[in-house]
Amino acid sequence: MNNDIFEKINDFKEKRKNRGRLLINCPDKPGIVATVSKFLFEHDANIIESSQYSTNPVGGNFFIRIEFECPGLAGKKEELRNDFRRIAETFQMDWKLSFVSEIQKIAIFVSRELHCLRELLWDWQSGDLMAEIALVVSNHEDSREIIESLGIPFYYIPASKENRAEAEQKQLQLVKKHEVDAIILARYMQILTPEFVAAHPHRIINIHHSFLPAFVGARPYDRAYQRGVKLIGATSHYVTNDLDEGPIIEQDIMRVDHRDQIEDLKKIGRSIERSVLARAVRWHLEDRVIVHKNKTIVF
């Protein structure tokens, strides 16, 4: 890893060594916020950010994200987890307690178009994407020079319909070996098998080059041109077994008109894709996304 990036990550970890995050999804009922706040207070934690949402105060679901500062957090991690389990059981919570200094490892999968990859690398180098890029996997060699110049392991694994099972087996082995927390599909133009997806639920983030649910699948810009759309967009979502129908994390659009040809739409679209994917990845790494059914709550 580049020394400058290594120093930025270490500086971030030192500054955030006492910072934790708590994500909660549970049936809505009185007392949730008061109980969680009291729990954090009793463990000497100070809430510095809190966002909450209820689908319906009567019979609905309640979601909350809390970021807190807690002196000596490194020595309290197991105590916090064990003590919070009793609260979680009482309120039937799905919950996640994470620690900001534990930097997540990501794997980036890419094919021939590199604009989304370059955006992620730029954010990573500038310190805006706080993660360890453990490896980059590609079914083409186009990105090798860029990746290896940054000291990131690069793996060329040819993939097609004919060898998909074999290719994915190699990919899964690499992901396991590098202890990857999330997989980013930065215009990786291969459909993942149900087995691959099942091994990483809500941990595979894709960028689709249309404003879903419009133009699912291949060649969306060509179909958008034929339809004469006035807006084009991009969508970042978690991957499920239903093609391009996973929980949506982020979307954006840009206006076009009758003068724009297919290549113009693609050029405009690349700009949208880059920013949409970068935001989605950053929000995932910052524990800002809660998946509920096939939707997301993004705090």
**Catalytic machinery residues:** 244
Contact 34, 47 (CB under 8 A): no
Q: At 196, is the secondary structure helix, strand, or coil? A: helix
Rounded to whole angstroms, how far apart are CA atoms 22 and 36? 10
Contact 287, 65 (CB under 8 A): yes
Query: Tokens 């000497």 map to which residue?
Result: 44
Chain center to CA of 145: 25
Contact 155, 138 (CB under 8 A): yes
Going from the C-alpha of 56 to that of each of 83, 90, 294, the distances in angstroms are 28, 20, 18
Q: At 206, is the secondary structure helix, strand, or coil? A: strand
Q: What is the DSSP letter of 103?
A: P
- Rounded to 5 degrees, what are φ and ψ at 109? -105, 135
- Amino acid letter, 290: I
Structure tokens at 152: 């990131």
Going from the C-alpha of 271 to that of each of 63, 69, 118, 121, 207, the distances in angstroms are 32, 37, 12, 15, 12
**Nearest by Cα to 124 from 273, 289, 281:** 281
Q: Judging by beta carbons within 10 Å of its beta carbon (0-12, 13-18, 19+), is residue 28 exposed, middle or buried?
A: middle
